[in-house]
Chains A and B, each alone.
Chain A
Amino acid sequence: GQQVMQIPQYQHVQEGEDFTTYCNSSTTLSNIQWYKQRPGGHPVFLIQLVKSGEVKKQKRLTFQFGEAKKNSSLHITATQTTDVGTYFCAGRYGGSQGNLIFGKGTKLSVKP
């Protein structure tokens, strides 16, 4: 079935270091969304990427969608303790009404 692979599973960084998480699908995605889930919380929407090769920035966060629309990445520059949480990518296949397939997430911890 359709699957979105996400790596790494865990990432421990020192405050101020950069962080990147990657998502990969074996088949073409129609779009991809990114969510952040704080410990004990629920997923919160960050961004949606739709176009091939799209790059979007939100302050220290940079999101990319691959040219083939099969992979995506989230890069955080100069991490802060407030960045702690699990970051999920969620891909949509076929028509955009389809369900979101979530990756297993990357759990980020930041040491002050």
Chain B
Amino acid sequence: GAGVSQSPRYKVAKRGQDVALRCDPISGHVSLFWYQQALGQGPEFLTYFQNEAQLDKSGLPSDRFFAERPEGSVSTLKIQRTQQEDSAVYLCASSLLYRRVNTEAFFGQGTRLTVV
């Protein structure tokens, strides 16, 4: 596609509910990143994939957060038993890997998650 696509754009979840957020990266982009952005803050790193391999998941805040990219393209971020502190915008970004160097990151519009 023309850009990084995320769905849904908005999600309201009841506390304790499980949610799944989808990211469709730019075709051919090897690298995929998930970030969490709270209101008025900078994006906080969650996890990084290179193709289907999850190379870094050090930013996932708890074991309720799980991400996958089974075929090296579309990725899903799953949050189990959502809590109010999970309310944030979840950003997905993708980039090319050129000579083992990540180039600029292209961000999707994000999914705004509100836990009530």
Interface residues of A (CB under 8 A from B): 6, 33, 41-45, 48, 88, 90, 92, 95-105
- Chain B stretch 74-116: residues in CB contact (< 8 A) with chain A: 91, 93, 97, 100-110
Instruction: Give the distance to chain B from A61, nearest Cβ to Cβ, in Å.
Output: 15
Q: Shortest 6 CB-CB distances between A and B: which pairs?
A: A102-B42, A45-B104, A96-B101, A42-B107, A99-B45, A104-B42
Query: Closest approach, in angstroms, between the C-beta of B103 and any C-beta of chain A?
Result: 8
The distance in angstroms between the C-alpha atoms of A64 and B97, with both chains bound, is 24
Which residues of A have CB within 8 Å of B97? 97
Please determine whether A104 and B104 come into contact, CB atoms closer than 8 angstroms. Answer: no
| Complexed CA–CA distance, A43 and B41 (Å) | 12
In chain B, residues 40-70, which have Cβ atoms closer than 8 Å to a Cβ of chain A? 41-45, 48, 50, 55-56, 59
- Distance in angstroms between the alpha carbons of A92 and B33 in the assembled complex: 13
Cβ A42 vs Cβ B108 within 8 A: yes
A97 touches B50 (CB 8 A): yes
- Which residue of chain B has its CB nearest to the CB of A43? B107
**Residue pair A33, B105 in contact (C-beta under 8 Å):** yes
Contact of B43 among A41, A45, A102 (CB under 8 A): A102
Which of A33, A102, A103 gathers most chain B CB within 10 Å? A102
Give every chain B residue within 8 A of A97 (Cβ-Cβ). 31, 50, 55, 97, 100-102
* Cβ–Cβ < 8 Å partners of B33 in chain A: 99-100
* B44: contacting residue among A43, A45, A102, CB under 8 A: A102
